[in-house]
Amino acid sequence: MSVTFPGESAEYREARDRLLAEEVELRCAMERVAAARRSLPPGGAVPEDYVFEGAGPGGEPTDVRLSELFAPGHDSLIVYSFMFPRSPGDDRPGAADGPCPSCTAFLDQLDGAAEHVTQRVSMAIVAKAPVERLLAFARERGWRHLRLVSSRANTYNRDYLAESDTGSQLPLLNVFHRDGDEIRHFWGSELFYAPTDPGQDPRHTGTVEPLWNLFDLTPAGRAGDWEEQLDYCC
């Protein structure tokens, strides 16, 4: 099938066809990577059934174990570590106590997808902030579909590479698999820790975040000096 758009030049079409070949190659590479991910051997057994602080039907604080984050009939659990608070040593205004704007933007997007995602797999958002503060921020943000729990009383964040040695929180995404009574780690967004070329961010969740992928479709691209904010006043 030959594709053309109104007013385009022959030069544009030649360049676009070359780019299309690269896009097809990228699609094939993404499929290969996804297939390789699915064929990973069993990961490490979870060292304990972590107890998180959650909320009951009336909003009252209640304990919830990692095993209880798997909904009935689900054998996969996606857990995103939300940087809230961010860093005990960060001297930017509100940085130590407040939520990470980039994480917040990502969760804005996940909240919209959560009802679809949880038809097949379970998903939870974990943060070190007290559960009351976490849920209050969720209400302020308008999140309706995310399951949020606090890890302030356990070592989940440290164990699964979402906390530095100094206590700074890190935005790792981890996937767990349950087989009977056994829960194992399946995959983590280790690309966060991999070397990057100059001007690149880690892109460890890059294939699942619409925001940056949409920017990649425009002439300006990601515009390296732009960062997500909690609010946009202008």
Q: Which of 176, 191, 206 is a domain's end point?
A: 191
Residue 86: name the closest of 157, 141, 30, 12 by CA: 157
Residue 161 lies in a domain: yes
**82-119 pLDDT per residue, tens:** 999 987 644 444 555 789 999 999 999 999 999 999 99
**167-219 pLDDT per residue, tens:** 999 999 999 999 999 999 999 999 999 998 887 888 899 889 999 999 999 99
- Are both 18 and 92 inside the same structural domain? no
Residue 177 lies in a domain: yes
Cα–Cα separations (whole angstroms), residue 139 to 8, 145, 146: 47, 11, 11
Q: 70 and 122 in contact (C-beta within 8 Å)?
A: yes
Q: Which of 191, 208, 225 is a domain's end point?
A: 191
- Are both 84 and 61 inside the same structural domain? yes
Residue 143 lies in a domain: yes
Residue 90 lies in a domain: yes
- Are both 63 and 166 inside the same structural domain? yes
Residue 211 lies in a domain: no
Give the total residue count for the chain: 234
Residue 98 lies in a domain: yes
What's the number of CA atoms in the CB half-sphere (13 Å) around residue 63? 7
Range of the domain at 118: 51-191
- Are both 112 and 172 inside the same structural domain? yes
Provide the whole-model pTM: 0.92
Residue 137 tokens, joined: 């921020």
- Are both 134 and 174 inside the same structural domain? yes
Residue 60 tokens, joined: 């009252």
- Spatial neighbors of 60 by CB under 8 A, at least 6 apart, are none
Exposed e or buried b for every residue in 153-175, given b needs 16+ CB within 10 A? ebebbebbbbbeeeebbbbbbbb
Residue 153 lies in a domain: yes
- Are both 55 and 134 inside the same structural domain? yes
Compute the radius of gyration of the chain from its Cα atoms: 20
- What's the CATH code of the domain at 65? 3.40.30.10
- Are both 85 and 180 inside the same structural domain? yes
Check residues 69 and 202 and name the one with the higher pLDDT: 69
Q: What is the pLDDT of residue 93?
A: 47
- Are both 104 and 179 inside the same structural domain? yes
- Are both 33 and 77 inside the same structural domain? no
Domains of the chain: total:
2
Q: In 10 A of CB 68, how many CB atoms? A: 15
Q: What is the pLDDT of residue 234?
A: 66
Distance CA 125, CA 78 (A): 8
Amino acid at residue number 173: L
User: Angle, to 10 degrees, between the axis of helix 131-141 and the axis of helix 101-117?
Assistant: 80
- Are both 20 and 104 inside the same structural domain? no
- Are both 14 and 123 inside the same structural domain? no
- Are both 152 and 185 inside the same structural domain? yes
Residue 164 lies in a domain: yes
